C-alpha cells in the first residue's frame, strides 16, 4: 500500500514532538505487531463458507475489512448472526481455533518492529499491548513474536466496560502503567483502534497495513506509515528525541 509524501494532514514530526519527554508507547496487536489480518480473513472465509453463510458464497476481503477487522468478536457475532447468539459463539470457537493453528505456522513480525522495540527499550519507556482480541489469541501472538518479556501489561477489551472503538482500553492502559496521555503515543492499524486512541486523547500512528487509507484517515491518526521501517516514523522519533534533549539541557 503506497503512501505518497505529504499526503497526511498533520505533520508527522510535530505531532509526536509535543509528547517530550516521552513516557510510554501503546500497541495494538493484530495488524500492528504482525500482519495477521490475512490469517483472520482466511479463517473467517473458510468457516463461514462451511456453515453456509451468505448462501455458501465466500466473503470478500472488502467485507472482512468493513465488518470484522479490528472489531471485538461479540460485536461481529451480533452482526453475522443477529438472531442466533449460540451459533455466533460456536462460530467464533471454530474460527479462533483455525486462526491459532495458522498463526503458529505463519505469523511474522511487522517490518521494523524489533528496531522500534530497541528504541523503546533504550529509552526505558513503559509499554503495553492493548487489543480487542481474545486473551488466548493475544497472549499467543505476543509469545510467538518473542515479546512476552517486552510488554509491562496486556490490556484487553474484555477487561473493560467497553471495547474499542471506545477509549476504555487505552485509558486503562494509562492507569495501569501510571503514565500521562500527554507523554504517550499509540500504534494502531484499524479504524476502531485509531478512534479509540484518539478518543483517549493520544496521538495515534496509523499503520496502513491492510485497511484502506481513506478510512484510516477519517479516524484522524496523527499520521500514517507503511510499517515500522517507514522514514516518517523515524523522522518523528528523531525530532522527539531532539526536543527531549533540548529540554533536559535547558533544565
The number of residues in the chain equals 251
Is 28 among the residues known to form the active site? yes
Q: Give the SS3 label for residue 61.
A: helix
Q: Give me the residue label for grid cell 508507547.
A: 25
Q: Which residues on neighbouring strands pair with residue 129, listed in sequence order?
A: 27, 154
Q: Rounded CA gap, 197 and 90, in Å?
A: 31
Pick the catalytic residue from 11, 28, 189, 230.
28
Chain centroid to CA 29: how far?
5
> Do the beta carbons of residue 154 and residue 127 sit within 8 Å?
no
CA–CA separation, 126 vs 151, rounded Å? Answer: 8
Measured at the CA of 135, the angle between CA 134 and CA 137, to 5 degrees, comes to 70
Q: From the candidates 30, 37, 227, 230, give the one annotated as an active-site residue.
A: 30
Does the annotation count 152 as an active-site position?
Answer: no
Q: Which residues are catalytic?
A: 28, 30
Amino acid at each position: 500500500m503506497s503512501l505518497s509524501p505529504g499526503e497526511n494532514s498533520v505533520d508527522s514530526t510535530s505531532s509526536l514532538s509535543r509528547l517530550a519527554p516521552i513516557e510510554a508507547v501503546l500497541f495494538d496487536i493484530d495488524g500492528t505487531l504482525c500482519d495477521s489480518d490475512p490469517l483472520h480473513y482466511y479463517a473467517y472465509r473458510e468457516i463461514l463458507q462451511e456453515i453456509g453463510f451468505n448462501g455458501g458464497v465466500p466473503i470478500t476481503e472488502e467485507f472482512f475489512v468493513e465488518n470484522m477487522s479490528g472489531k471485538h468478536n461479540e460485536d461481529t457475532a451480533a452482526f453475522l448472526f443477529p438472531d442466533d447468539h449460540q451459533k455466533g459463539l460456536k462460530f467464533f470457537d471454530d474460527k479462533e481455533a483455525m486462526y491459532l493453528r495458522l498463526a503458529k505456522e505463519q505469523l511474522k513480525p511487522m517490518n521494523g518492529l524489533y528496531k522500534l522495540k530497541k528504541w523503546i527499550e533504550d529509552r526505558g519507556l513503559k509499554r503495553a499491548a492493548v487489543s480487542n482480541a481474545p486473551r488466548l489469541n493475544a497472549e499467543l501472538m505476543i509469545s510467538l513474536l518473542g515479546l512476552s518479556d517486552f510488554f509491562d501489561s496486556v490490556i484487553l477489551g474484555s477487561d473493560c466496560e467497553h471495547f474499542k472503538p471506545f477509549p476504555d482500553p487505552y485509558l486503562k492502559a494509562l492507569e495501569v502503567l501510571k503514565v500521562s496521555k500527554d507523554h504517550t503515543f499509540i500504534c494502531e492499524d484499524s479504524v476502531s483502534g485509531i478512534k479509540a486512541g484518539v478518543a483517549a486523547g493520544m496521538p495515534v500512528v496509523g499503520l496502513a497495513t491492510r485497511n484502506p487509507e481513506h478510512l484510516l484517515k477519517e479516524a484522524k491518526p496523527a499520521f500514517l506509515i507503511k510499517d515500522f521501517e517507514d522514514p516518517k516514523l523515524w523522522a518523528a522519533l528523531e525530532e522527539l528525541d531532539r526536543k527531549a534533549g533540548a529540554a533536559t539541557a535547558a533544565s
